[in-house]
Amino acid sequence: MPMHHRHHSATAALLLGLCLLAGLALLGWQLGNSAIRYKAMERVVTVKGLAEREVPADLALWPITFSKPQNDIGALYQELAADTDSILSFLSKQGFDSGEIQVNPPQVTDKLANAYGNAGPVEFRYSASQTVMVHSTDIDKVLAARRQLAELGQQGIVLQGDNYGAGTEFLFTGLNDIKPAMIEEATRNAREVAQKFAADSNSRLGKIKTASQGQFSISNRDQQTPHIKKIRVVSTVQYYLAD
């Protein structure tokens, strides 16, 4: 091929490449400007929707802890066993079955073995505590039985700490069953707020841009009714606004 033809072809190819580059740069600039203008004109509203429910607890964990002092270790274990039998009899009379009751091993302290320095004489060498744990889904039965605990005190059983009420833990385990309906309610409430905002600003509500679900929280309704739970969730939704 003659030299001048090769030179002409190379020049044409170079010009074509430069034109393509210029065209792509122009297109990119136009697209970038369009995106900037669209972003500047984009209008959104972010709202929160709350859903709350009160539900009864469906599981109670009730520890009944009692204590006993003694100087004779053999007598101590015998008395612990007798008190345990009394508690089991009490629970049976209240309607609990064996599947709802767990007897934990006793915790025994030897005060002489644990004495330090110039500790003075002790009235009882040994002290022990033991817990009978009740797991029940019958909340009303647990509440009724707690009101009768004075019967154990009348039998000489020394209950420790807050066994007359505050030691019981009430739980709600059915959260997964009510989650979908609560999320739907929270989202619906958020949309109502957004519609009100759109109406007040002479706009109309568009599609959802983003949405996020908050964490579910479970708390006691109040200190007097820990067996009633308050379930709460907040959804955050962002909507487009249009004229």
pLDDT digits (tens, 9 = 90+) for 72-91: 999 999 999 999 999 999 99
pLDDT digits (tens, 9 = 90+) for 128-139: 999 999 999 999
Q: What is the pLDDT of residue 174?
A: 96
Q: What is the pLDDT of residue 160?
A: 82
pLDDT digits (tens, 9 = 90+) for 37-86: 444 357 899 999 999 999 999 999 999 999 999 999 999 999 999 999 99
Q: Which amino acid is at 240?
A: Y
Nearest residue to 128 via CA among 109, 156, 115, 104: 109
Q: What is the pLDDT of residue 40?
A: 38
Q: How many CB atoms lie within 10 A of CB 135?
A: 14
Cα-Cα-Cα-Cα dihedral of 218, 223, 224, 229, to 10°? 0
Q: Is 238 left (phi over 0), alpha (psi -120 to 50) or beta?
A: beta
Q: Are 149 and 51 in contact (CB under 8 A)?
A: no
Separation of alpha carbons 128 and 132, rounded Å: 14
Question: With bands split at pLDDT 50, 70 and 90, how would you rate the model's confidence at 113?
Answer: confident
How far is the CA of 151 from the CAs of 15, 67, 94, 148, 156, in angstroms? 104, 16, 12, 6, 9
The DSSP 8-state label assigned to residue 108 in this structure reads E
Separation of alpha carbons 165 and 230, rounded Å: 20
Q: What is the pLDDT of residue 32?
A: 46
Q: What is the pLDDT of residue 34?
A: 37
Q: Are 226 and 62 in contact (CB under 8 A)?
A: no
Q: Are 87 and 132 in contact (CB under 8 A)?
A: yes
Nearest residue to 209 via CA among 43, 33, 31: 43
Is 16 a residue whose pLDDT tops 70? Answer: no
